[in-house]
């Protein structure tokens, strides 16, 4: 039995310790906001925060988490950076099919929390791991810059 701290709540889960966090979130806890896209940390759709750092939950064994705080897309709006990112996403209509956007927003929120005024190359480095098949990249870039300017 493992105890995980997700979005400020403790959850006891009876799962193998090598089980990736993504499947615990989606299939055991019903938190389906984090998405499955590739399973090999190549697409970023599964991005969550662990103690504020953006990580790919599809390759993150729950046994390695300990008591570290996990934040998912369902709760990122309660953080200052997350709220600014979500507002910019809506203002600029970034989203098309939306499937990748949980991961995009989580990566963007982690970027802004660490780097309040990111340059284009900061954005490239932080966001290159998140694939968008609908091609919303130009608007993602603009929205990050807009969120950075908002206070």
Partner 1 sequence: MAVSIDPKARNLAPSRRALLQVGAAVGGGLMVGFLAPARAAAPGGSGFAPNAFIRIDRAGKVTLIMPQVEMGQGVYTSISMILAEELDADWAMVAVEHAPPDEKTYANPMLGVQATGNSNSIRAFWTPLRKAGAATRAVLVQAAASGWGADPASLRTEASQVIDDAGGRRIAYGELTGRAAGLTPPADPPLKDPKAFRLIGKPLKRLDTPEKVNGQAKYGIDALPPGCKFATFAHCPVFGGKVARVDDSQARLLPGVRQVVVLDDLVAVVGDHMWAALQGLKALNITWDEGPNAGVSTAQVRERLVAASARKGVVAKSVGDAAKSLSRDAVEVTYDVPFLAHTTMEPMNCTAHVTPTSCEVWTGTQVMGRAQADAARITGLPLDKVIVHQHLLGGGFGRRLEFDPVTKAVRIAQHVDGPVKVVWTREEDIQHDLYRPAWHDRLSARLDGDKIVGWKHVITGSSVLARWLPPAFVDGKDFDAYDSAADMPYDIANFQVEFVREEPPGVPTGFWRGVGPAHNVFVIESFIDELAHKAGKDPVEFRLGMLGKQPRLAAALKLAAEKSGWGGPLPKGVGRGVAVQPSFASWIATVAEAGVDPNGEVKLRRLVCVVDTGIAVNPDTIKAQLQGGLVFGLTAAMFGEITVENGRVQQSNFHDYRMLRINETPPIEVHIIPSGEAPGGIGEAGVVAAMPALANAIFAATGKRLRKLPIDRDVLAGRTST
> What three-state secondary structure class fits 124?
helix
Name the residue nearer to partner 1 (CB basis): 13 or 114.
13
17 belongs to the binding site for partner 1 (CB under 8 A): no
Only one residue has tokens 């662990």, namely 50
Structure tokens at 57: 């939950």
Please identify, using beta-carbon distances, which residue of 51 and 77 lies nearer to partner 1: 77
Coil vs helix vs strand at 54:
strand
Could you say whether residue 119 binds partner 1 (CB under 8 A)? no
The residue behind tokens 């791991």 is 129
* Residue 93 sits in the site that holds partner 1 (CB under 8 A): yes
CA dist 35 and 32 (Å) reads: 7
Q: Which residues bind partner 1 (CB under 8 A)?
A: 7, 15-16, 19-20, 23-24, 26-28, 30-40, 42-43, 45, 72-75, 77-78, 82-83, 86-87, 89-90, 93-102, 105, 123-125, 127-141
């Amino acid at each position: 039995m493992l105890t995980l701290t997700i979005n400020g709540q403790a959850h006891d889960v009876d799962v193998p310790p090598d089980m990736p966090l993504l499947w615990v979130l989606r299939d055991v806890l019903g938190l389906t906001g984090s998405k499955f896209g590739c399973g090999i940390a190549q697409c970023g759709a599964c991005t969550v925060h662990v103690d504020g750092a953006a990580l790919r939950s599809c390759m993150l064994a729950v046994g390695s988490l300990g008591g570290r705080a996990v934040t998912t897309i369902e709760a990122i709006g309660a953080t200052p950076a997350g709220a600014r990112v979500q507002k910019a996403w809506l203002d600029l209509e970034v989203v098309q099919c939306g499937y990748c956007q949980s991961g995009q927003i989580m990566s963007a929120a982690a970027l802004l929390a660490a780097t309040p005024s990111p340059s284009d190359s900061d954005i490239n480095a932080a966001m290159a791991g998140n694939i968008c098949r609908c091609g919303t990249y130009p608007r993602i870039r603009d929205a990050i810059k807009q969120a950075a300017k908002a206070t």
